[in-house]
Amino acid sequence: MQRSARRLDVLTDDFLDLSKIDANRFVFTWAEFDLNDLLNELVGEFAPMTQDKNQKIILERSENQIILCADRTRVAQVVSNVLCNATK
């Protein structure tokens, strides 16, 4: 149930973003963050979904920090969409 609620939440956010883009009100929030931390977080969130389907996400990453200056929420949205599609 939590997985389905998360998916619906992501879809709702995507639709809201589309409406903001259409109305020229979409704003990026730029900040520095460690990409490795974000990827670890997202892989952890998708772990129950992949386990239910006997799938595995293998994250191979650098041991060094990868600092991005970007909108963390939008990067997370893109990676979540990729992981969601991959599990389907």
Sorted by where each begins, the domain ranges of the chain are 27-87
pTM, two decimals, is: 0.73
Q: What is the pLDDT of residue 67?
A: 95
Q: Are 31 and 72 in contact (CB under 8 A)?
A: yes
Other residues' Cβ atoms within 10 Å of the Cβ of residue 14: 13
Residue 78: burial class (beta carbons within 10 Å; 0-12, 13-18, 19+): exposed
Alpha-carbon gap, residue 21 to 19, rounded angstroms = 5
pLDDT greater than 90 at residue 32 = yes
For residue 1, what pLDDT is reported?
Answer: 67
pLDDT band at residue 35, thresholds of 50, 70 and 90? very high
Using one digit for the tens of pLDDT, what is the confidence trace for 36-82? 999 999 999 888 888 888 988 888 888 899 999 999 998 998 998 89
Of 11, 5, 81, 88, the residue nearest 42 (C-alpha): 81
> pLDDT value at position 23?
77
